[in-house]
Amino acid sequence: MVYTKRVDGRKIEELRPMIAKVGVIANADGSAYFKMGNTVAYAAVYGPRELFPKFLQNPKTGIIRCHYSMMPFSGSGERIRPGGNRRSQEISKVMNDSLEPVVDLSAFPNAVVDIFVDLPQTDAGTRCAAITAVSMALADAGIPMKDIVSAVAVGEVDGTVVADLNYDEEAYDAIVSDIPVAMTHIKKEVTLLQMDGEISKSQLMKAIEMAKLATDKIYAVQKQALLDKFVKE
């Protein structure tokens, strides 16, 4: 059976409805909210501030430090033990790697920008929603950045390449691949590319082309959210 009709009735390249806001956390230096379907991410940015432990300090540039965390009842299954675990450590690391190329902290040697992402509700694509939210939060915090990063998950579900998989598609009873992709806007440089499952080379190239179009749509939402903070009365 070929996967022609998606479980939630979307078109194959259609994204889930998105909502984005910036400046949602007053005590943070920058913050953002990003909702994609039923996946919700809050990002808060603090700093640049003094970096401890001291051995992490880089005298040539400031660094960023991501903290990813899913809230206890955010998933659809069991309660998730709060705090760090192996999965969140990995995601924090790949988030760092996907954002580092655009952030320019050369004016802040030895300093750190701390980034916290909390997900109160999840339905697949959390690392993508997190990266998208952090990108807005960093811009809101006035951190110098060369570009905005937008992220989306693409993949193959039973032979069909689709964009923005939800949990039901990730768990579909067939061969499924789930490929989170993060891209810069101007040059479409890939800053994150991971995969679960398996896919052929030609389908992968098709999926990445689809991700390019999808990140453009996400970028438009991010941009509007950033501008909406400063509407004239």
Partner 1 sequence: MSEILVQERNIVIPGETLAQGMDYLPGDNTYREDDKIYSKILGLVYISGRVIRITPLSGPYVPKIGDKIIARTIDITMSGWRADTETAYSAMLNIKEATSRFIKKEEDLSQIIGIGDYIVVQIINVTSQNMIDLTMREAGLHKITGGRIIKINCQKVPRVIGKQASMIMMIKEKTGCEITVGQNGLIWLKGTSEGELKAEKAIKLIEQKSHLEGLTDKVQKFLEELA
Q: Which residues bind partner 1 (CB under 8 A)?
A: 29-30, 47-51, 59, 62, 102, 104, 107-112, 139-148, 184-186, 222-223, 226-227, 230, 232-233
Find the shortest distance in angstroms from Cβ 221 to partner 1.
12
Q: How far is the C-alpha of 192 from the C-alpha of 208, rounded, in Å?
A: 11
Shortest Å, Cβ 193 to partner 1: 20
CB burial of 138-150 (b: ≥16 within 10 Å; e: otherwise) equals bbbbebebebbbb
Give the Cα separation of 122 and 19 in Å (integer).
15
Question: How near is the Cβ of 39 to partner 1 at its closest, in Å?
Answer: 23
Q: Which is nearer to partner 1, 35 or 185 (CB)?
A: 185
Please, what is the minimum distance in Å from the beta carbon of residue 12 to partner 1? Answer: 28
Which lies closer to partner 1 via its Cβ, residue 124 or residue 137?
137
Radius of gyration of the chain (CA): 18
- Specify the pairing of strand 149-157 against strand 160-163: antiparallel
Cβ nearer to partner 1, comparing 173 with 233: 233
The angle formed by the CA atoms of residues 167, 148 and 40, to the nearest 5 degrees, is 30
C-alpha neighbours within 13 Å on the C-beta side of residue 181: 30
Q: What whole-number distance in Å separates Cα of residue 89 and Cα of residue 105? A: 23
- As measured in angstroms, the least distance from the Cβ of 136 to partner 1 is 9
- Residue 127 has which token pair? 């690392």
CB of 204 to partner 1, least distance (A): 26
Nearer to partner 1, 51 or 165 (CB): 51
Sign of CA dihedral 128, 134, 139, 144: negative
